Structure formats: structure tokens, C-alpha cells
Amino acid sequence: MITKAVFKCSSERISQVPKDNLPDIAFIGRSNVGKSSLINMLTRHHGLAKVSSTPGKTRLINHFTINDSWYLVDLPGYGYARTSKSTRGGFAKIITDYVFKCEKMHFLFVLVDSRLAPQRIDLDFIEQLGMNGVPFGIIFTKADKLSKTQLQRSISTYQQTLLQQWEELPPMFASSSEKGTGRDEIIGYIEEILNNFSKYSEK
Ligand SMILES: Nc1nc2c(ncn2[C@@H]2O[C@H](COP(=O)(O)OP(=O)(O)OP(=O)(O)O)[C@@H](O)[C@H]2O)c(=O)[nH]1
Ligand SMILES: [Mg+2]
């Protein structure tokens, strides 16, 4: 359960992220896919993360402290033409540094637009996560824009695409920030991850 959500800080680079042992649960995906909206939906705190219909709204790494014990992290989107300074496969350095080098980064949700066929840029990013052993799950956003059948078809196409390359599928969720869809499932999954984390860190 999320009982408290407070903005902590915005970081321009990973040397600026909070220096404590609280684990980060982060959200990444193409610009405009709905990362910031999802954070507001999960925390039931509208206006906590800045949302915009113009892609490229979130430019920094934003930490939100949840229940005084972990962080939800809103990241800048990728795949937006006007973002410069890219490194690995066209992903901005702020993103790759955080995802691949930041020790606080505990689990990453990759958001994909449920209305679209699998996009090359997302598949490339997912491939890098796999190769680097970054734990991740996939969230299909804007599910309110599709019928139940269309949504199922879209998820199943994604699964087929991933199975061409991977033996196992990552956890997958469908969400709508407009309707609150997927909230319980996503928070439930995060709680499982955090329980395992605290078991390990007690040892
Ligand atoms: N219908 C619908 N619209 C959504 C949903 N989630 C986000 N949107 C809309 O999509 C647009 C982008 O949302 P953001 O949450 O700002 O997207 P973002 O991924 O944080 O974008 P950047 O910060 O630019 O990378 C906004 O106009 C939102 O209102 C959803 O679940 N359903
Ligand atoms: Mg954003």
C-alpha cells in the first residue's frame, strides 16, 4: 500500500541521486508513453510528477520517497528527436548511466504504448537490459484506448516478439492512468520485490 508519496529531488547526473540505502523502483520508456502519469496514478497524487502532452517533458531523474522507505523514480523518455547527447544505441547518457550504473536502481519498469506494434527502440532497450542482467518488467500503457480484445492481442504480439529472442518472459502489466487500471497488480508486484530486498539486506 502506498500511504505517503513525497518529492525528494531531481538529479542531472547519477552522482546527485540520494545517498542512502533505500531501493529505487524506476520507470522508463519512450517520451510521452505515460511514465509520469503512471507515477501519479500509483501514488494517487495528481501533480506529483509533471505530465505533458508534449514529448520530452521529464528531463531529469526524479526521486519520490514512498512510505519513507523506498523510491519511485521518474526518468526522461527516450526516442525523442530533440534529445541530444546520446550514447549507447541512441539512448541519452543520463538514462544509460542511471539504468546500467546506478546501484540504487533496483527494478525497472519499461513502459510501452499498448496501441502500438513492438517498436524497434523499445526492443533494443529491452535487449540491453537482458544482456546487462537488469531486472525489469513491462507495462502496457493507455489501455483505456483499446478494447479488451485489442489489448490482449497487443500483449500477445509482444510476447511472441520477445519469445523469438528470449526463453523467459518478463512480468507484464496493463495500465491506464485515466482509469486506474493495473494499480493493484503493479503495487502488489513492487511489494513482492521490496519484501525480497529487505530479506536479503537483513542477512
Ligand atoms: N488516455 C490516456 N492518456 C494517457 C495515459 N497516460 C498518459 N496519458 C497522456 O499521455 C501524455 C504523456 O503523458 P506523460 O505521463 O507526461 O508521459 P511521459 O512518458 O512522462 O513523457 P516524457 O516525460 O515526455 O518522457 C499526456 O497527455 C497524458 O495525459 C493513459 O493511461 N491513458
Ligand atoms: Mg515524464
Least confident of 47-61, 115-129, 136-150, 165-179: 47-61
In this prediction, residue 198 has a pLDDT band, given cuts at 50, 70 and 90, of: confident
Question: Could you tell me the distance, in angstroms and rounded to a whole number, from the CA of residue 142 to the centre of ligand 1?
Answer: 8
Q: Where are the domains of the chain?
A: 5-193
Least confident of 10-14, 43-47, 90-94: 90-94
Q: What is the DSSP string of the chain?
A: ----EEEEEEESSGGGS--SSPPEEEEEEBTTSSHHHHHHHHHT-TTSS---SSTT---SEEEEEETTTEEEEE---B--TT---B-GGG-BHHHHHHHHH-TTEEEEEEEEETTSPPPHHHHHHHHHHHHTT--EEEEEE-GGGS-HHHHHHHHHHHHHHHHTT-SSPPPEEE-BTTTTBTHHHHHHHHHHHHHHHHHHHH-
The domain made up of 5-193 is a member of CATH 1.10.3720.10: no
pLDDT (average), residues 29-41: 96
The percent of residues above 70 in pLDDT, for the chain, comes to 94
Question: Could you tell me the distance, in angstroms and rounded to a whole number, from the CA of residue 201 to the centre of ligand 1?
Answer: 35
